Amino acid sequence: MSLAVQFHDLHPSPASTSLRDEILTGFRADQKFASPKFFYDQRGSELFDQICEQPEYYPTRTEEAILAEAADDIAEIAGHEATLIELGSGASRKVRLLLEAMRPSSYLGIDISRDFLLDSTRRLAADYPWLEVHAACADFCCNMALPDGLCCERPVGFFPGSSIGNFDPQAAEDFLRGLHSLLPTGSGLLVGVDLVKDKPTLEAAYNDAAGVTAAFNLNLLERLRHELHAKIDPANFVHHAFFNEAHSRIEMHLVSQLPQVVTIEGERFSFLEGETIHTENSYKYTLEGFQALAGRAGFEALSSWTDANSLFSVHYLTR
Ligand code: AVJ
């Protein structure tokens, strides 16, 4: 019962997955690409929070409404005194919708953005003095281990926001299978998944009128300038996001507005006019499609909730 947040170092730490190596590999490819996890420096995490407030970006408010509505059901399935473990906890806002109903004994927030994580878990600890709060800075994409002791007390994973949509379906399945082997029998996993819907609604969500998503996408280049001393001018690129129906995913790109050469760590990369850096995929599922994927990873989809317009879904998986 303390206001302090217990901080853990998890493997792999974000530093050990190198921005430099992964960016260089991506820029050497025929279709240049960068992992969307690199969006989330301090500024990127702030911009993402602003995206969540844009009128066109339906996922956040829809998921929050679903969670608020389903909180009692979720608490009944998960039981009290659980250890709630949030993957990619960001501002730790959504978990607040569950805390009063679930009354977990402890909460562990895991995020790639260290300062952001510390701020938000401290605020959580201050607002919920009865909750034991832990924080771990980690890139949870791969082979994650949980802090000793925490893994065994009735863990319930919480993976909201359709972050799972950043993985392609095979990688999502592999990721869930990894969590399946990490979590003991009897544990639960609450996952938010964005649903397939009409193209205009999807495309508007990634092209907000205020230009916040564009700024978020372009901030990646600012990050390369600051952290890798890249010679790259963000003004020479524009944001492009569209729904690729064949793959059931939103794609985000940065489009070169002219033929140009950029330099990263002394290595030169040339762009044709119109050539892109593919910066994100955000896969959209049907309810049944996601349940089947979870099943292939070894989980049972015990309950699923959605909103009246079937925009978004929340799934309680058990193992
Ligand atoms: C955090 C991956 C769920 O795909 O909607 C929002 C990220 N990118 N706007 C998403 C994002 C552009 C978001 N996820």
Same domain (yes/no): 88, 152:
yes
Same domain (yes/no): 267, 142:
no
Give residue 150's pLDDT.
61
Separation CA 199–CA 145 (nearest Å): 38
Residue 41: CB partners within 8 Å, gap ≥ 6?
113, 219, 223, 227
Separation CA 312–CA 115 (nearest Å): 30
Q: Whose CA is nearest to atom 1 of ligand 1?
A: 163
pLDDT band at residue 1 using 50, 70 and 90 as cut-offs? very low
| CA 213 to ligand 1 centroid distance, Å | 9
Confirm whether 8 is domain-assigned.
no
Separation CA 158–CA 219 (nearest Å): 27
CB 34 within 8 A of CB 279: yes
Whether the ipTM is more than 0.95: the answer is: yes
Same domain (yes/no): 64, 132:
yes
Same domain (yes/no): 257, 192:
no
Residue in 38, 40, 48 to alter for ligand 1 test, most ligand atoms within 8 A of Cβ: 48
pLDDT above 70 as % of the chain: 93
The answer to whether residue 242 scores a pLDDT higher than 80 is: yes
Same domain (yes/no): 160, 104:
yes
Who lines ligand 1 at CB under 6 A? 51, 59, 161-163, 165-166, 206, 213, 280, 282
Give residue 9's pLDDT.
75
Nearest-10 crossing angle of helices 212-228, 19-28: 110
Whether the model clears a pTM of 0.80, i.e. scores above it, the answer is: yes
Whichever domain contains 143, its CATH number is: 3.40.50.150
Separation CA 15–CA 183 (nearest Å): 25
CB 10 within 8 A of CB 141: no
Domain residue limits at 293: 55-196+283-317
The answer to whether residue 155 scores a pLDDT higher than 80 is: yes
Confirm whether 7 is domain-assigned.
no
Dihedral pair phi/psi, residue 177, rounded to 5°: -65, -35
Mean pLDDT of 84-98: 92
| CA 5 to ligand 1 centroid distance, Å | 27
